[in-house]
Structure 1
Amino acid sequence: MAGMGAMPPLNPCRPLLRSGSAYTLPSRIPCRTLAHSCPQRAQADDGRGENGNSESNASASVLSSLKNFMLGSKTSKPKPKIPRKPSAPPSREGSLSADSIFGDEIPTQSKEPSVIKDPLEERIWDNMQMALDPKPRARLRWQRKMVARTIRKRGRLTRTEEIMRTERESLLRSHFFKTSVKKLVPLARQIAGKHIDEAILQMRFSPKKAAKDVFEHLKHAKNVAIVRHGMGIDNVPGDSDTDANETSIPQTTFKPTTVTLKSGKRKVISNPTAIYVDQAWVNRGPFDLSYNQRARGRIDTIRRPYTGLSVLLKEEKTLIREWEDRDAKALRQRRSQLWTQLPNRKITSQNQYYSW
């Protein structure tokens, strides 16, 4: 123990002692830890392979690497580079389908045009006659009847058919709102007869709870009338919203007309294609049942009503036609009640009795 106490302390970081041309290993080398990374082999710069190095070079490389680890490298030789392989797969470029809308802009690689087979051509029409024409004799009788009706009327249209061809209308029914008929009827009467924008404005600032649902339904009805039925899209010449440089179909200049409504009020119509609410009525819906717990084990049934709203939108040219019809009817009634003196008759014979 005394001899061991006389030994100098070991320094693990003591530098290597150089004696002549040989190097001495340190007396203590730090142990290898458990956590380590896998070694990667560096690529030699001189172009030699793994088997090209000799044993002397191998021993020298071990000492030099140990020296560089303890003292640090002082050579100007660049560090070897580790080649890395790309981990991501190579990118692959796709192509457009045969029915793409961009097929004309990007040329295809194949020179032969692709032939698209129509699935309708492969159908057997004889097998589909039972679904397309189940009763051929009834169809022939109906066609003969329609031709005879056209010949009998000589191509003339009825009053209803003429109105449907010249005027547009849009009927839209809403879903059921969680309200009663008693609360929704005043709102329907409030918007009936007004311009669609004015009716939307009335429902927007209405304090009633059901007015929010009516407001959303009116906006949807306006969009449906414009998109599906083409109402309110004809621009009148001289309108400020019409672009002067825009080329449109020439239209006749419309002169503002003052009409008298059914209620007796007068209204000036400057745009015959403006949309207004012609009729608005409510539809009674189903009832939602709920229960109210009362005292002494009693239970009351509560019926919560649901109500819908239907609006009929038309253009203001209909107001002009209805006013003209009412005016013509009133004129006929006045003429029928007007007394006119009978014309004088010629005297054909003279006697003592009157001829009338």
Structure 2
Amino acid sequence: LVVVWVIVFYFLFDVGTSFYKDNLLFRTMTNDPNERSKLVIGPRVWTMILGVVTSAFTAVLVAVNEHVGNYHDSFAILITAIVGAAMVLSLIGWFLVKEKHSVQEEEAEPVKFKDFFLLFKENKPMVVYYLKGIFSGFIWSLIFATPAYYIKWGFCTDLTTGVTNMEQYGVLNGISSMMMLIPLLVGAVIGRPLLKLFKNNPIKMTCFLLVVQSVGGVVLFITQMAGLLANVPALFFVTLFIMAVGVGTDFVPQSMVEMEIMDYNIYKTGKDRSALTMVVGGFIVKAQAALSAAIIGAVLMSIGYNVDPVTSEYMGELSQIPTMLNWFIVIMGLVPAILGALSALILRTYPIKDDERRKIRECLDHRNAG
């Protein structure tokens, strides 16, 4: 019964999160690209802040348990309080939002199953952008797939004895872990000013960020092959940070393009099929999340990474570790660089240019459907 309980409510939670797409709401609040870029930043920064706060969950749980005396009940109380606060804040926000640009069709037609397939015929910008996403969506997972392994065996292990300096490993791995959070926060902060430099052209900005990620991956690969990277931890972390900021900053132009794809469909067909366009992107993200872990595990097995599950000692020959380190950098450096370059080339075929972008906005402003 406990298993059934968990499965049912995790399923409901996942269905809820799959249906929730804030860009659908932002698109109806304003047609102005500057205002849209402001709207997407607030929730992003708030999410990052909450990520830092919730990292102290265990400490808060212990404090609550000092008064309750039962960890099972303490956990339930704390989770209920957190979810309850989130619900109250969400409801307040729900009632405050004003949708000014929801499309009113003259003869509203119900959404049909065939409409999903018509999108691929009618909305070329969507096809191009999500085709790019099939490649670029794996970059973040691959960048952070093997840093912990590289740090342990490249910086903290004596290759003559196989002994790992666990204290040093803890410090460096902690830095690596923070780099999964801080670049996202930095990217959210600098995303909008950078978008202004690109004159509110999200495609050009995304291409630039993909080039940054690719160059960072190439630097990691070349310095590793030259035998420099393992001797210069600072170069490893700085390059990794720049690549991660490139991915994190892309959140702003990515959101802008997603809303532009919705606008384009209204502009071309007169029908609002915004939710369907988000279904495509959502499916790609879900599929990539499911595949990433399996792909990374398969790659680690293929390169012979084998450690004792109890002692975490390397089970192979120590002489093989340098070769293994090369493969780690291939995974987190060279492959993301190739994926970034492919993504940028695909994005160059994105059909909406500045002139048409202005026409789309004028068309939506004239509809004045709020």
**TM-score, length of structure 1 as denominator length:** 0.20
Question: 1 or 2, which has the higher strand percentage?
Answer: 1
Greater Cα radius of gyration, structure 1 or 2: 1
Q: Which has the higher helix share?
A: 2
Instruction: Determine which structure has greater relative contact order: mean sequence separation of CA pairs < 8 Å that are 6+ residues apart, divided by chain length.
Output: 2
